[in-house]
C-alpha cells in the first residue's frame, strides 16, 4: 500500500492510484501550504478529500499541520468537516477529510449581489451552530471566510481548515476584540 502516485491511464484526464483501491480523481483546491485532492474508492465509490502538505517545501507548516490534526481529532459535529485520519510519507503529510460535494460557500455568493436572504440565513444559522460547538470546546477557528465554509451534498455548511485554529480557556483574552478589555466575559 504505497502512497506514491502511479498512472492508471494516459492523457491529461488520467486518474492516478494513490493507495491500492483508491483513485486520485482531481485537485479540489490549493492553499498556502499545499493542495486538496479528491480520492475515490474504486469498489465502493466513497469520496474522501486529501490535504497534502510537503514539509520540505513548507517547513514552517509543520506546527500548523500538527495543531490542525490534533484539533480535528477532537471534533465531531454536523457542521464541522469530519477528520478520517493522517499519514506521513517522507516529507509529505496527508490529512484525510470528509468530501464536501457542494464546494465552497464562496462560489454561491454572487459578486455585488450576494445571495437570497433565506439562503444566507440558513447558512448563517448552521455556521453559528458549528461555532457554538467549537467555542464550547475551547477552540477558536481564527480563519473563518467563505472559502473555508464548505457545503455537503445536502447543501449544509461544514467548517473546514483548522490550520490557524487555537485552543483557549475561559477568561483568557488574547483573541478577544479590544472592546472586551475590562469587561468580564462569561463562558
Sign of the four-CA dihedral 125, 130, 131, 136? positive
Nearest to 152, CA basis, from 79, 45, 76: 79
Burial code (b: 16+ CB inside 10 Å, e: under 16) for 133-153 equals bbeeeebbbeebeeebbbbbe
Q: Which of 54, 77, 107, 143 is catalytic?
A: 143
Is 51 annotated as contributing to ligand binding? yes
60 is catalytic: no
Beta strands in 16-71 (DSSP E): 16-19, 22-30, 34-41, 47-54
Binding-site members for ATP are 51
Active site residues: 143
Amino acid at each position: 500500500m504505497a502512497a506514491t502516485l502511479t498512472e492508471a491511464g494516459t492523457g491529461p484526464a488520467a486518474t492516478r492510484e494513490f493507495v491500492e483501491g483508491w483513485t486520485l480523481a482531481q485537485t479540489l483546491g490549493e492553499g498556502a501550504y499545499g493542495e486538496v485532492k479528491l480520492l475515490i474508492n474504486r469498489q465502493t465509490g466513497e469520496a474522501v478529500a486529501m490535504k497534502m502538505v510537503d514539509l520540505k517545501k513548507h517547513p514552517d507548516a509543520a506546527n500548523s499541520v500538527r495543531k490542525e490534526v490534533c484539533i480535528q481529532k477532537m471534533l465531531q459535529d454536523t457542521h464541522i468537516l469530519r477528520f478520517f485520519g493522517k499519514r506521513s510519507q517522507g516529507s509529505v503529510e496527508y490529512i484525510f477529510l470528509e468530501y464536501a460535494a457542494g464546494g465552497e460557500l464562496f462560489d454561491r455568493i454572487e459578486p455585488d449581489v450576494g445571495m437570497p436572504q433565506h439562503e444566507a440565513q440558513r447558512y448563517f444559522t448552521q455556521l453559528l451552530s458549528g461555532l457554538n460547538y467549537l467555542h464550547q470546546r475551547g477552540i477558536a477557528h481564527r480563519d473563518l471566510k467563505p472559502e473555508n465554509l464548505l457545503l455537503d451534498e445536502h447543501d449544509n455548511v461544514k467548517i473546514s481548515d483548522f490550520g490557524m485554529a487555537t485552543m483557549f480557556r475561559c477568561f483568557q483574552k488574547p483573541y478577544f476584540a479590544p472592546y472586551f478589555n475590562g469587561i468580564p466575559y462569561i463562558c
